[in-house]
Each structure stands twice: as C-alpha cells, then as structure tokens.
Amino acid sequence: MLNVHTLGVVGCSFQHVQNEQQIKFKQGLLIEQFKRIGKVAIAEIWEPLTGPHWGYRRKARMGVKYVAKKGRVLVGFRERRNQFLAEMESCKVMHPIVGEKLMDLSAMIGQLSIKDKIPQIEVAIGDEDCVLAFRVLEPATDEDKEIMRAFGHQHNISICLQSKGPDTIVPIEGEPELMLTYSLPEQGITFRFKPATFTQVNYEINRQMVSRVMQEMDFNEQDRVLDLFCGLGNFTLPIATKAGHVVGIEVNHAKDNAQFNKLTNVEFFVADLSKDVSDQVWARQKYNKVMLDPSRAGASEVLHNLKKWDPELVMYISCNPSTLARDAGILVNELGYTLVKAGVMDMFPQTGHVESIALFKK
C-alpha cells in the first residue's frame, strides 16, 4: 500500500526534493520560460512567497472506485498517465480533515448499496467548515443516507450528494446547506462560496499574494481598475477597499460577495474573454490599472484591448509560466510595456505546478 513517500505517481512528484530546492527550481523555470518563449528578461526577481509545505490543499476532486478483487473502495487520486486510482492511506498535501481520513472514507463508502456508483468526491474546505460532495450515478437509499449522515456528524464534515452537474449539489435531506467561507483578514474581506466554486487551494499563499498585489499596485481613490478573469472577486473586492472604482469581468458569485462585504464602488459583467469583447460597454471605458488572473490558457486574446484602455500598470497572476511568458512577450515586445518584476509563489508545494506573478509598467 502506498504511503506519502510514493505518492509521486499521482501528482506530488516533488516530494523527494527539499522545499528550498523546489522553489529554486520553479524560479529557474520561470526565468528560462520568459527568456525562451517571451524573449523577455526579468529585471528584478521577487522574493518567493512561501507557506506551509503540507496539509495546505483545501480544494480537490478525488476519485472513488470499488474494486471487487480487493474487496474494498479506493479513495484518492489517479496515477500519472493512466486512469487507475492509486491505493493510498492518506494524502499529506490535503488539509488533514480529509487527507488523514481516506481509509475512514473508504470504509464508509464500502457499506453503501451504491458503493460502485460513486465515481468522485468534490472536496471544499473553508476557514470553518468542510464539505464533501459525492457524485452519485444512482440515487442513494435512505439507509445509505443515514450511513453518510452519521459519518459526517462523527468527523465534522458536511456531506452533499451530486446527481448531475455542479448545480445539483445538495445536502442530505434534513441537513443544513452550508455556505463555505474564506477570509482576507488584512483587507477585512470575507468570501462565501459553494463547494464546486473555484477558489485558490492554498489560503496562506492566497493571502500573501493579495497583499503583494495591494502593496505593489498602490491603489488610491483616483484609480479606475479593471479586474479580468475575476471569479469570486478574490482581487476585485480587496482592490475596491482602496480604489475609486473597480470593474470585474467573468463573474462567479462575485456580485453577491460585494454586497456581503458592503462594497458599492464595484460592478461586474459576464464575458467570454477568449472572444472579441471590444463592443461591450465596460470594454469601451478607460482604466489606469489592470489585473489579470487567467486560467492555464493565458490571456493573449484580451491583451490587444490594452491599447484602448491604456493602463499605466498591469499585474498578471498565472498558474502556467509558459503562457505567462508568451503574454509577457506580447506586453513588452508589441504593446510597449516594461516588465518591472516577476517571481514565483509556492501555491502547490510537493508538485510540479508553478504559480507566478509579474508586474508591467507603461
């Protein structure tokens, strides 16, 4: 049976590397990608943002499989390059409320009549609460629900059932619906989110990251700020505590969170930022500072709009150094920006994933 040291097969491929060496390697990769792909040199390297190396992960999608030959249910993550679930007793990068309970989860699911009809579990852990959303291909029986309910009460976990897409996640009958929260204490912001909503997996690094953005962008009441790929408003709302006016694009419950935090100088628009947005109302306005936090695909499609918006500062957060390097090449070599600083953030210790940050100035 696998233990923590052999979990490299399922994505924690850096566990054999010392923590300091992991971050040095990722920083070197970022510098190399900027140079090779973007044809841009990083003038100043930010000090890496670091936090807990274990037990940090608060969002995950775990696989579940009943294996008749083994007479048990496997709960965890898939092996690299195939669809087999690794046999694991614990996951040390996951928050311990779930990471240390994989065997308990396995035993509980093994008691269910639908043990072979649960392909995955959506894990969402907030500041105070933990929700596990079980994807069920067949309805759970009343007896199944009682077994799950008892497990949830015993381990202080809220268990939900998901019959189809993310919108079908509901608590077991009779259990309260939990709205998870995470906070940014330095900015006095609290976010509420649902189990399937995207949030950063590492709260400690996220807080440091937001604080760095706030410090480096030095927002004030004269600023009109555009936050692209805003999601929940992870950057939009803290920025709104300092800037005059903020516009967030590609909304995911951000409006609700703005109201919850009593922020009135912020507005949101839904848009597909991989398409032409030039005719949209918000896109025809001017902004002196722009925030970018795209998916792995990067932000190349939306960058040409910067000519019109003419921001003096652009802050770019990325989970993929190669698309960041490509977009940095566009910003510097085509749009006339200077790369002021860039660096890495240890959002995903023990894994090969690289989270990075770059500041561009007109």
Which residue, among 218, 283, 217, 220, has the nearest Cα to 250 in the 3D structure? 283
> What angle, 0 to 180 degrees and rounded to 10, lies between the N-to-C axes of helices 142-155 and 102-110?
160
- The catalytic residue among 91, 130, 160, 319 is 319
Strands 224-228 and 245-249, sheet pairing: parallel
Residues paired with 182 in a beta bridge: 191
The span from the CA of 140 to the CA of 136, in Å, is 7
All residues at 6 or more sequence positions from 137 whose CB lies less than 8 Å from its CB, including other chains: 114, 117, 118, 119
Q: Is the distance from CB of 338 to CB of 359 less than 8 angstroms? A: no
Which residue, among 4, 9, 103, has the nearest Cα to 54 in the 3D structure? 4
Q: Is 319 a catalytic residue?
A: yes
If you write DSSP's letter for every residue of 254-297 in order, what string do you get? HHHHHHHTT--SEEEE---TTS--TTSTGGGS--SEEEE---TT
The span from the CA of 17 to the CA of 28, in Å, is 15
Q: What are phi and psi of 278, to 5 degrees?
A: -60, -25
- Residues annotated as catalytic (active site), given as ranges: 319
